[in-house]
């Protein structure tokens, strides 16, 4: 074997990668010496020294080495266990003018990704390396990643490095990277506000798709076989152009859909984009973690309904802190595609689409306030305010609380409940109708217009 990993050729690297396929970390470190973490063990195999240089690990071959876990879900599908964390972003030194000169591109243009199977029932040293992939970004992925990079770059340029959210971008993220959430670093375009240290990363959902394409046979449809020329959102708009202005009924006729399912609009969008399956199961939506949502606008421009999200468990929320809460994680990692229908001459007409994610400043202020208030009410048993006939009114934050979101029932019926960790003071009930966080209709209107 070559003594210096930096000098290995691509072919030599792939040969070595083949030799560790099907082995556990225990077996490898027995053979090569145990230097600690998984990444270090693998670097030992390839005779490269840990470094944080701006160049790829295999300098000559131009390949960066990555080691990452995946898992088998309860339903048998595979998922990445975590995002793939790449190089740190040095806010002050990053090249902010040219993507091809950025630290991201210089280091990660080509990656050898080694996958190991995570299993919570096993000890870490028994995890097995099962696959590897020499990864180059496809043309369309690269287009999207360049746009993502510009979004991150613009935040830094605008002195907004502290407001970067993973959901701002589609595939390439800028994840926080610090010993704890309190460590902060300076940023070049703001003298007053420090930001969390961050690293480039490929989103968990992006990694999941890589894994499924590599290891499972399931067919995943792509929205874009053609080259993406403009932004992802605009490219979809171009595809949808001939359907704007058509009513729901017209669209149902065009695609011969008879269903009255409540997700009919997602089905229609899928057909309009030329997909056989659902748009939420398309490669692009899965990779970027985009959830489609219907918005109905009335003739005068107002929106009647607020927007629901998955329910939360009362007993879970009280054991969370905001920073590690399910709600924060959800809005920090999820993008939404609003499918906008507007009422015209008594029918709802397909108007437009809009990609949206909650900005960090709103997430960590208004959404947090609603969450903290909700947690406090559950902890103290202040749930029911009064009862009126069959209806039970609660203390949960309502639409007037701060104009962004509120808490309301979201269940099959009133008897569809989760346990309350603390009995309700007024009635003594120990379980309550499932609730979720809702985005206010007025807030959605402000996003759409």
Contacts to DNA by CB under 7 A: 259-263, 265-266, 278, 280, 291-294, 296, 302, 305-311, 339, 388-394, 396, 398-400, 406, 408-414, 416, 433-434, 441
The distance of closest approach from Cβ of residue 337 to DNA in the complex, given in angstroms and rounded to an integer, is 10
The distance of closest approach from Cβ of residue 105 to DNA in the complex, given in angstroms and rounded to an integer, is 34
Residue 191 or 260: which CB sits closer to DNA?
Answer: 260
Residue 155 or 293: which CB sits closer to DNA?
Answer: 293
The enclosing H or E element of 297 equals strand 290-297
DSSP state of 216: -
CA distance 262 to 81: 32
The distance of closest approach from Cβ of residue 250 to DNA in the complex, given in angstroms and rounded to an integer, is 16
DSSP state of 124: G
The distance of closest approach from Cβ of residue 258 to DNA in the complex, given in angstroms and rounded to an integer, is 8
The full length of the chain comes to 449
Residue 65 or 377: which CB sits closer to DNA?
Answer: 377
The enclosing H or E element of 291 equals strand 290-297
Residue 178 or 403: which CB sits closer to DNA?
Answer: 403
Please name the residues in contact with 68: beta carbons below 8 A apart, sequence gap of 6 or more: 80, 81, 82, 84, 113, 114, 115, 116, 207
Residue 182 or 390: which CB sits closer to DNA?
Answer: 390
Beta strands in 314-390 (DSSP E): 335-344, 347-356, 384-388
Residue 192 or 388: which CB sits closer to DNA?
Answer: 388
The distance of closest approach from Cβ of residue 129 to DNA in the complex, given in angstroms and rounded to an integer, is 30
Residue 56 or 397: which CB sits closer to DNA?
Answer: 397
Structure tokens at 289: 């973690």
The distance of closest approach from Cβ of residue 293 to DNA in the complex, given in angstroms and rounded to an integer, is 4
Residue 60 or 398: which CB sits closer to DNA?
Answer: 398
Residue 45 or 307: which CB sits closer to DNA?
Answer: 307
The distance of closest approach from Cβ of residue 204 to DNA in the complex, given in angstroms and rounded to an integer, is 16
CA distance 352 to 146: 25
243: left (phi over 0), alpha (psi -120 to 50) or beta: alpha
DSSP state of 227: P
Q: In what order do the strands lie in the sheet with 405-409?
A: 307-312, 435-439, 405-409
CA distance 303 to 172: 33
The distance of closest approach from Cβ of residue 24 to DNA in the complex, given in angstroms and rounded to an integer, is 32
Backbone phi, psi, residue 321, to 5°: -105, 160
The enclosing H or E element of 198 equals strand 198-202
Burial 347-382 (b: 16+ CB within 10 A, else e): ebbbbebbbbbbebeebbebbbbbbebbbebbeebb
Residue 153 or 392: which CB sits closer to DNA?
Answer: 392
Q: What is the largest CA-CA distance in the chain?
A: 80
CA distance 226 to 139: 10
CB 358 within 8 A of CB 367: yes
Residue 55 or 414: which CB sits closer to DNA?
Answer: 414
The distance of closest approach from Cβ of residue 291 to DNA in the complex, given in angstroms and rounded to an integer, is 5
The distance of closest approach from Cβ of residue 402 to DNA in the complex, given in angstroms and rounded to an integer, is 12
The distance of closest approach from Cβ of residue 149 to DNA in the complex, given in angstroms and rounded to an integer, is 28
Beta strands in 53-127 (DSSP E): 64-72, 78-80, 84-88, 110-117
3-state secondary structure of 241: helix
């Amino acid at each position: 074997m070559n003594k210096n990993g930096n000098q290995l050729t691509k072919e030599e690297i792939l040969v070595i990668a083949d030799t560790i396929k099907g082995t556990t970390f225990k077996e490898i470190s027995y053979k090569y010496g145990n230097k600690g973490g998984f990444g270090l063990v693998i670097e030992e195999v390839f005779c490269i020294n840990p470094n944080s240089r701006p160049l790829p690990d295999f300098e000559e071959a131009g390949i960066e080495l990555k080691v990452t876990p995946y898992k088998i879900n309860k339903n048998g599908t595979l998922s990445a266990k975590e995002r793939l964390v790449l190089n740190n972003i040095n806010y002050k030194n990053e090249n902010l003018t040219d993507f091809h000169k950025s630290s991201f591109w210089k280091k990660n243009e080509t990656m050898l990704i080694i996958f190991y199977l995570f299993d919570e029932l096993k000890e870490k040293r028994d995890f097995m390396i099962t696959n590897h992939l020499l990864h180059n970004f496809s043309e369309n992925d690269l287009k999207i990643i360049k746009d993502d990079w510009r979004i991150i770059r613009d935040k830094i340029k605008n002195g907004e490095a502290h407001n970067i959210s993973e959901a701002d971008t589609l595939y390439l993220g800028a994840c926080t990277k610090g010993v704890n959430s309190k460590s902060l670093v300076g940023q070049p375009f703001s003298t007053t506000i420090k930001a969390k240290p961050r690293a480039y990363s490929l989103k968990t959902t992006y990694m999941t798709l890589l894994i499924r394409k590599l290891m499972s046979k399931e067919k995943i449809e792509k929205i874009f076989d053609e080259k993406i020329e403009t932004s992802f959102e605009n490219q979809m708009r171009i595809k949808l152009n001939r359907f704007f202005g058509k009513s729901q009924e017209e669209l149902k006729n065009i695609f011969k859909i008879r269903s009255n399912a409540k997700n009919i609009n997602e089905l229609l969008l899928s057909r309009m984009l030329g997909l056989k399956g659902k748009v939420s199961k398309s490669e692009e939506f899965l990779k970027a973690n985009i959830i489609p949502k219907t918005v109905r606008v009335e003739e005068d421009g107002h929106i009647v309904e607020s927007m629901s999200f998955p329910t939360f468990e009362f007993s879970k929320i009280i054991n969370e802190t905001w920073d590690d809460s399910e709600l924060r994680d959800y809005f920090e990692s999820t993008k939404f595609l609003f499918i906008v229908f507007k009422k015209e001459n008594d029918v709802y007409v397909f108007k437009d689409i809009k990609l949206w994610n909650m900005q960090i400043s709103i997430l960590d202020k208004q959404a947090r306030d609603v969450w903290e208030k909700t947690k406090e009410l559950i902890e103290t048993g202040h749930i029911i305010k009064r009862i009126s006939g069959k209806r039970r009114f609660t203390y949960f934050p309502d639409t007037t609380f701060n104009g962004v979101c509120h808490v309301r029932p979201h269940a099959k019926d009133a008897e569809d409940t989760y346990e309350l960790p603390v009995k309700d003071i007024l009635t003594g009930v120990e379980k309550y109708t499932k609730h979720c966080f809702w985005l206010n209709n007025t807030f959605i209107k402000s996003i759409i217009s």
